[in-house]
Structure formats: C-alpha cells, structure tokens
Amino acid sequence: MITALCMNPSFDRTLEVDRLVPGELNRVRASRQDVGGKGINVAVVAKRLGLEARVVGCGGLEGAAAISAMLDGEGIRHALLPIPGRVRTNLKIVSLDGSSVTELNEPGAALAASQLELLTAICRENAAGSDWMVLTGSLPPGCPAGAYRALMEALDTPCILDASGAALRQGLTARPFLIKPNLREAEAALGRPIASADDARAAAEEFLRLGAQHVILSMGGQGAIYTGEGIALFAPALPVEVRSTVGAGDAMLGGVLKGMQEERDMALAFRYGIAAGAASVMTSGTQLIVPADFARLLEQVKVLPL
C-alpha cells in the first residue's frame, strides 16, 4: 500500500496549439481537462500499475466533489480535508511542433495552521497502514515551507519527498528515503548550474550528504541518474514520441514505487521509473500512463554504471 499526500489538487486544462506565439492570436487545435495534483498523479499511476494506492490531502470546497469522483473512478481510496475556497485550475499550453509547453498554475486555496494540524492527524492515521508515504507537489498558500519536514518527522512510515525550493531543502533534514528532483529543481536547491553528467552526479551525491537516503535526478531528454547505497547509475532516455511532458515526473515516481514492490531493490526500481516516465510522455495532456506502454518500454530500459 502506498499513500500519497496531495495538499494542492488541481484541474489541469491542456490546450494544444500549432506553435505558441506570445502576444498574438493562437488557435486551439484540441483541449482537455483532467484532475491533477502531483500526489493524485502518483497514486493514479501506482494504481494503474497494480499497486494498492490511497490519497490524503486537502482541497477547496468548490470543486472537491469532482476530485473525489475522479478518485472513485480510478478505484483509489481517499481522505480529503475540505477547506474554504475552490480547487485551482492549471493551464498547460502545448505547442504541437515540440517547441514548448507553457504552464500557468494558480496558487490554490489557503491552508490555515489549524487545518494543517487536522491534515497531519489524517496523514498519521493513513500512513500507519502503508508501506510508503509520498509527499509531493506545491504547498498551498499559508502553509509553511517546513510543512513536509514536520510531517515526515511525525510519521513512522518511510517517506518519499518530491518537492522543490525551500520545501525540498528543509525536507532533507528529515532524511527522506528517496527524493526525485528534476534538473531545474536541483539547480535551485543547490544554487548552482548542472551542465554535464558529472555535474548531475555531484549534485545527486550532495543531496545524499544533505540527508536523502536515495536520489533520482531526472534530466528529461538527457535521461536520469540514480545514487544511493554506494552506487551511481545512469539511464538514457527512451526514444518515444513525446506528446506531453506534463506529469512525467509523477509517473516516474509511480513506476519506482511499482519497482520497489516487485524487486525490493532501488537500483532495479530505477528501471521501472524510467519506463513509466517514458510511457507518460506518450499520452496527451495529463493522462499519465497506459499500462501496456509501460510493460513494453520496461524491456527497453538500459541502465549503465557511472
């Protein structure tokens, strides 16, 4: 069982244009809306890959029913704390020529200190019966940067942290089992550019020194690096048709969780994450993953020692 925390769910509206030209008229070729939020995405991918998954979190009263209905449709149990306000809408504008994906994300409903206490109690209750607790995504307005750190310190369950900025930096002190930053997040957290494979390995090893037990550093089309338990591995990106990169990191994490259950070995689970991330970019909008794509791609993953 995995439990994923989603403190800032969203409606993800994806618009496809031939090529986004700022300041000009852009005609939409296709559009779709999905329920999102990184914790929800991770749980959906894990569930589609055969894991038992649960979502806990909070969300604005306006729109919360649609979030619950979507999770019911995926067969995912959930405990969401309703808070005043509305569920945010995130807009993704995808250029069909592959030149860009532009994201406009709303902040979401504010979370008061008293509500954070209630949410912490919900997390404790649900994490107690879980193998892994996943803490991921942006923190809602009003939530302190150290919220993830405090939650990890309050739980006895191994925690996976996928956050950015101050939430990542402070969360490292709670020694999460795994972190999964992308290049931009790693550069921001460490305050320096990452321009080569050697830079990426050095960054991952620094995250280990700062408190993480395992690190997967995703580099988009350049592949990904895993470090932990005295080893360092590199996996090249798989050659697939990229339709949308939105949610690929969440899918990668869901794949890693599947691999951890199947293999009980992080180095082997890394392969599952690569396959799941690649399967995700093959789908439009934020549809996340088709299990048959994942199974086919898993056989193609190559992992090399660094």
- The verdict on whether 250 is a catalytic residue reads yes
pLDDT of residue 57: 94
Residue ranges making up the domain that contains 45: 2-305
pLDDT of residue 221: 85
Strands 10-17 and 88-95: parallel
Could you list the mean pLDDT of each consecutive 10-residue stretch along the chain, which spans 306 residues?
A: 95 93 95 90 95 94 92 93 94 88 92 95 92 94 95 95 94 97 92 90 95 95 93 94 82 96 92 95 78 94 94
Per-residue pLDDT of 200-219, as tens digits, reads 999 999 999 999 999 999 99
The enclosing domain of 166 has a CATH number of 3.40.1190.20
With CA atoms as reference, report the closest residue to 243 among 278, 273, 213, 216: 278
pLDDT of residue 242: 82
Please tell me the total count of domains within the chain.
1
pLDDT of residue 286: 60
Of 97, 250, 265, 293, the catalytic one is 250
Per-residue pLDDT of 151-209, as tens digits, reads 999 999 999 999 999 999 999 999 999 999 999 999 999 999 998 888 999 999 999 99
CA angle 181, 253, 229 (to 5 degrees): 70
